[in-house]
């Protein structure tokens, strides 16, 4: 079977859950081959977990300078791995960085690009949600092998233990004058909460939260459920919560097992980023709010009464267990 290249998302010590989802999807198309881009020694630390999830090959694209440049090392690594493996496809997580890498790679390889897929079958036909979530389409490239970005949460990560072969992949020298350089990094403020795009549970607040202080209700429920906190564009634009937690067409796309929307009306922009969630619960005082039409469970009521009670009930059940 042909190789399927998977770009590994990691923090240098641990593989992100989205990569395991990509490896699971890759097995539908061929033999998963993980591409690790990092500083020297990174691939060795990640090899065991990648092999446990089905990566038969691990390409180690390592350099002491790799963290100094934005996107380019990953594009270089995938281009060189594609030259060696002649893969059936390349899979990248549909994050902001992943979409940039995928687009640049497709341009370099002069091949087809499929963005924001939520499913892929053995014939390399992908399912996408397009036009702000208004339509579901099936797409296939007509030129070259596909470069596919897969929306986080679209696949359940499944273990498939194999023996991995590590292959060294030399990166070309960086060209500082033509590459975007990272000059500073800001730490996330999520604390112990899971990363938004990887969380099994997401609790989001909207304009109905009323202000930055109102987000404590959202955070309390998220913490009780062991989930991540999100925000609608309206809440972010109003300054209630930082932009990095925005869920929607111009924010992050999420597909958790459970999505709880507190005080979110359900504008198309927001629905486009969360409508593929497995179960959706909405709390809104407006019975005509569009999000109630999408929700699996809707509560018409004051979120400041409903959410704290739900938090107490969840905490009580966890304590009883």
d(CA 278, CA 16): 20
27 is in an annotated binding site: no
Range of weakest confidence among 53-62, 110-119, 132-141: 132-141
Name 103's Cβ contacts closer than 8 Å, sequence gap at least 6. 113
Q: 196-320 in CATH: which number? A: 3.40.50.1220
d(CA 50, CA 311): 36
Q: Which of 219-223's residues contact partners 24+ apart within 8 Å by CB, and which partners?
A: 220/307, 220/308, 220/311, 221/260, 221/262, 221/307, 221/310, 221/311, 221/314, 222/193, 223/193
Residue 186 scores a pLDDT above 70: no
CATH architecture of 3-168: 3-Layer(aba) Sandwich (3.40)
What is the per-residue pLDDT for 1? Answer: 82
313 is in an annotated binding site: no
132 is in an annotated binding site: no
How large is the average pLDDT for residues 15-24?
95
Name 118's Cβ contacts closer than 8 Å, sequence gap at least 6. 127, 128, 129, 150, 151, 154, 255, 276
Predicted confidence band of residue 320 (pLDDT cuts 50, 70, 90): confident
Q: Who wins on pLDDT, 192 or 123? A: 123
232 is in an annotated binding site: yes
Is residue 203 within 8 Å of 225, Cβ to Cβ?
yes
Name 126's Cβ contacts closer than 8 Å, sequence gap at least 6. 114, 117, 119, 120, 138, 139, 140, 146, 148
Would you list the domain boundaries of the chain? 3-168, 196-320
Predicted confidence band of residue 294 (pLDDT cuts 50, 70, 90): very high
281 is in an annotated binding site: no
162 is in an annotated binding site: no
What is the per-residue pLDDT for 177? Answer: 57
Side-chain half-sphere exposure of 297, counting CA atoms within 13 A: 8
How large is the average pLDDT for residues 211-225?
96
Residue 299 scores a pLDDT above 60: yes
Confirm whether 3-168 and 196-320 share one CATH topology: yes
The partner residues of 90 in beta bridges, in order of sequence, read 5, 147
Residue 196 scores a pLDDT above 80: yes
124 is in an annotated binding site: no
266 is in an annotated binding site: yes
What is the per-residue pLDDT for 179? Answer: 72
Q: What is the pLDDT of residues 26-83, one digit of tens each?
A: 999 999 999 999 999 999 999 999 999 999 999 999 998 888 888 899 999 999 999 9
104 is in an annotated binding site: no
284 is in an annotated binding site: yes
Cα torsion 55, 61, 63, 65: sign:
negative
275 is in an annotated binding site: no
315 is in an annotated binding site: no
pTM attached to this predicted model: 0.83
What is the per-residue pLDDT for 175? Answer: 65
Length of the chain measured in residues: 321
CA angle 99, 30, 59 (to 5 degrees): 60
3-class secondary-structure state, position 282: strand
282 is in an annotated binding site: no
């Amino acid at each position: 079977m042909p190789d399927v290249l998977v770009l590994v998302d990691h923090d240098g010590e641990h593989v992100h859950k989205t990569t395991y989802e990509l490896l699971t999807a890759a097995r539908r198309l061929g033999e998963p081959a993980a591409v690790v881009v990092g500083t020297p020694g990174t691939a060795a630390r990640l090899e065991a977990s990648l092999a446990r999830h089905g990566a038969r090959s691990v390409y180690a694209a390592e350099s002491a300078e790799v963290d100094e440049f934005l996107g380019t090392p990953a594009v270089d690594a995938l281009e060189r791995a594609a030259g060696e493996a002649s893969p059936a496809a390349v899979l990248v997580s549909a994050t902001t960085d992943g979409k940039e890498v995928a687009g640049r790679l497709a341009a370099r390889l002069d091949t087809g690009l499929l963005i924001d897929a939520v499913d892929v079958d053995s014939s390399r036909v992908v399912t996408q949600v397009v036009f702000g979530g208004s339509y579901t389409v099936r797409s296939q490239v007509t030129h070259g092998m596909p470069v596919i970005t897969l929306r986080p949460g679209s696949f359940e990560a499944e273990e498939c233990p194999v023996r991995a072969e590590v292959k060294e992949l030399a990166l070309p020298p960086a060209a500082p004058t033509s590459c975007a350089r990272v000059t500073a990094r800001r730490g996330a403020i999520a604390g112990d909460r899971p990363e938004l795009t990887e969380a099994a549970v997401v609790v989001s607040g909207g304009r109905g939260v009323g202000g930055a202080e109102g987000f404590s209700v959202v955070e309390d429920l998220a913490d009780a459920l062991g989930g991540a906190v999100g925000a609608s564009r309206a809440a972010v634009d109003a300054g209630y919560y930082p932009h990095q937690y925005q869920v929607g067409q111009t924010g992050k796309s999420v597909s958790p097992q459970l999505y709880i929307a507190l005080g979110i009306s359900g504008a198309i922009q927001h629905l486009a980023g969360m409508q593929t969630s497995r179960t959706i619960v909405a709390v809104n005082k407006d019975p005509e709010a569009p999000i109630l039409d999408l929700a699996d469970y809707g509560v018409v009521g004051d979120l400041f009464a409903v959410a704290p009670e739900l938090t107490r009930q969840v905490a009580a059940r966890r304590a009883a267990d």
